[in-house]
């Protein structure tokens, strides 16, 4: 009897252990299934994100809504256009022939300013600029010597004029006296007949003092330059062209230039500009050929200014160009910002060619139909440097 009871108890224990084992295995299977489903969910999530990223651009730059309009951001659609052959060189702006006069000393002596003249100051025709005195210098006061010679010659002329009528003196003597008188009068007037301070140097025409050649108290000889006056109505642009471009010079038609003191681009075709000449040879010891244009000074340019010149020649067709301000430079490389959607842009490296000062030829990096930022470029560059990522382009999941 005891034996049968023991067998029954062992059977119950075995069955109980089997049930417990089966329940644990079922729980693990459910957990595994749960883990598998979660993995599928994560896989689907990644796939969905992959679809989103397929529509995004790596390295895109975004502006906040309304910011583009606030900064006046503008773009230009790239299209082939006409573009001139360009030769870049240096040059200068000078006064046109006949538009510049030099005031010179009419006698030797010391220079005295009639007032504190400065370069760039406007003067009117006939204005007294300097007085030149020879008093206590060299042979004496030239003005005083001229006055004495004039009065002596005049007295002699008056004497023979009264005697020639009575034939007391010959006609020849009379003519000689008259000649001496006229010469003395002209010399006296040249050194300042009405001045007690010596010879007067005056402005021959109205204009602007472009250069003062002497300082107060300087000693000068007769004929020495004292000041240069330019009317600035008509100027000349002189470009210094390297010899290697000599064969291109016959095709040059006009020019653009930028001065050394501002960023304004001056276009001769808008200033009544005209090609005057180009050199057929270089100057002695020079490696450059001069090309000269005449133009109206409509921008108060200062003669003597150094400029950067863009000589324009034969027109080429189907050239991709962009405004100069569309480009940024980094370590000798050039970049533009291309619009990929509203308020979103990408930085693109481009290869550049010649520039006429206003536009620059693009040799590679962009295509017709691209929209490139032309105004507000540095604001977009600032956004790029700040690391702003467009909304929906985060890599965090």
CATH number at residue 164: 2.40.50.100
Average pLDDT over residues 352-359: 95
| pLDDT tens digits, one per residue of 200-223 | 889 988 888 888 999 998 988 888
The pTM score is 0.59
Asked if 160 and 250 sit in the same domain, the reply is: no
CATH number at residue 329: 2.40.420.20
Asked if 148 and 261 sit in the same domain, the reply is: no
- Evaluate if residue 45 carries a pLDDT over 90: no
Sign of CA dihedral 31, 33, 34, 39: positive
| pLDDT tens digits, one per residue of 305-334 | 899 999 999 999 999 999 999 999 999 999
Asked if 159 and 253 sit in the same domain, the reply is: no
| Chain Cα centroid distance, residue 136 | 52
Asked if 209 and 240 sit in the same domain, the reply is: no
Asked if 225 and 130 sit in the same domain, the reply is: yes
The total of structural domains in the chain comes to 3
* Domain ranges, residue 272: 87-96+232-315
Asked if 269 and 238 sit in the same domain, the reply is: yes
Tell me what the pLDDT averaged over the chain comes to. Answer: 79
Choosing from 295, 315, 335, the residue where a domain stops is 315
With respect to residue 394, please indicate whether it lies within any of the assigned structural domains: no
Asked if 242 and 296 sit in the same domain, the reply is: yes
- Evaluate if residue 280 carries a pLDDT over 50: yes
3-state secondary structure the chain: CHHHHHHHHHHHHHHHHHHHHHHHHHHHHHHHHHHHHHHHHHHHHHHHHHHHHCCCCCCCEECCCCHHHHCCCEEEECCCEEEEEEEEEEEEEEECCCCEEEEECCCCEEEEECCCCCCCCEECCCCEEEEEECCCCCCCCHHHHHHHHHHHHHHHHHHHHHHHCCCCCCHHHHHHHHHHHHHHHHHHHHCCCCCCCCEEEECCCCEEEEEECCCCCCEECCCCEEEEEECCCEEEEEEEEEHHHHHHHHHCCEEEEEECCCCCEEEHHHCCCEEEEECCCCCCCCCEEEEEEEEECCCCCCCCCEEEEEEEEEEEEEECEEEHHHCEEECCEEEEEEEEECCEEEEEEEEEEEECCCEEEEEECCCCCCEEEEECHHHHHHHHHCCCCCCCCCCCC
With respect to residue 46, please indicate whether it lies within any of the assigned structural domains: no
Asked if 249 and 287 sit in the same domain, the reply is: yes
Asked if 308 and 339 sit in the same domain, the reply is: no
Specify whether the backbone of 115 is left (phi greater than 0), alpha (psi in -120 to 50) or beta. beta
Asked if 217 and 122 sit in the same domain, the reply is: yes
With respect to residue 127, please indicate whether it lies within any of the assigned structural domains: yes
- Evaluate if residue 198 carries a pLDDT over 70: no
With respect to residue 369, please indicate whether it lies within any of the assigned structural domains: yes
């Amino acid at each position: 009897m005891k034996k049968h009871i023991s067998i029954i108890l062992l059977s119950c224990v075995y069955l109980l252990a089997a049930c417990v084992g089966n329940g644990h295995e079922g729980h693990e299977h459910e957990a595994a299934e749960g883990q598998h489903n979660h993995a599928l969910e994560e896989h689907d999530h990644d796939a969905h994100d992959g679809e989103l990223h397929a529509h995004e651009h790596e390295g895109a730059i975004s502006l906040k809504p309304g910011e583009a309009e606030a900064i006046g951001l503008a773009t230009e659609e790239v299209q082939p256009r006409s573009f001139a052959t360009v030769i870049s060189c240096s040059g200068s702006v000078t006064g046109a022939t006949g538009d510049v006069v030099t005031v010179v000393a009419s006698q030797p002596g010391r220079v005295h300013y009639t007032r504190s003249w400065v370069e760039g100051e406007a003067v009117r025709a006939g204005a007294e600029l300097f007085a030149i005195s020879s008093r206590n210098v060299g042979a004496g006061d030239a003005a005083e010597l001229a006055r004495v010679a004039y009065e002596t010659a005049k007295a002699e002329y008056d004497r023979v004029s009264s005697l020639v009528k009575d034939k007391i003196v010959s006609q020849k003597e009379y003519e000689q006296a008259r000649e001496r008188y006229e010469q003395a009068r002209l010399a006296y007037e040249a050194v300042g007949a009405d001045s007690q301070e010596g010879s007067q140097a005056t402005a021959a025409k109205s204009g602007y003092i472009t250069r003062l050649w002497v300082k107060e108290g300087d000693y000068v000889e007769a004929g020495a330059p004292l000041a240069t006056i330019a009317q600035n109505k008509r100027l000349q642009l002189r470009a210094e062209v390297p010899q290697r471009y000599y064969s291109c010079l016959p095709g040059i038609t006009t020019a653009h230039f930028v001065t050394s003191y501002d960023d304004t681009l001056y276009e001769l075709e808008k200033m009544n500009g005209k090609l005057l000449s180009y050199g057929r040879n270089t100057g002695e010891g020079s490696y450059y050929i001069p090309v000269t244009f005449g133009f109206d000074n409509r921008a108060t340019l200062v003669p003597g200014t150094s400029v950067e010149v863009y000589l324009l020649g034969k027109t080429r067709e189907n050239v991709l160009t962009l405004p100069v301000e569309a480009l940024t430079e980094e370590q000798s490389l050039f970049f533009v910002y291309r619009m990929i959607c509203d308020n979103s842009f990408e930085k693109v490296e481009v290869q550049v060619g010649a520039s006429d000062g206003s536009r620059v030829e693009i040799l590679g990096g962009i295509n017709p139909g691209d929209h490139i930022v032309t105004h507000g470029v540095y604001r977009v560059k600032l956004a790029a440097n700040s690391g702003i990522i467009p909304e929906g382009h985060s890599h965090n999941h």
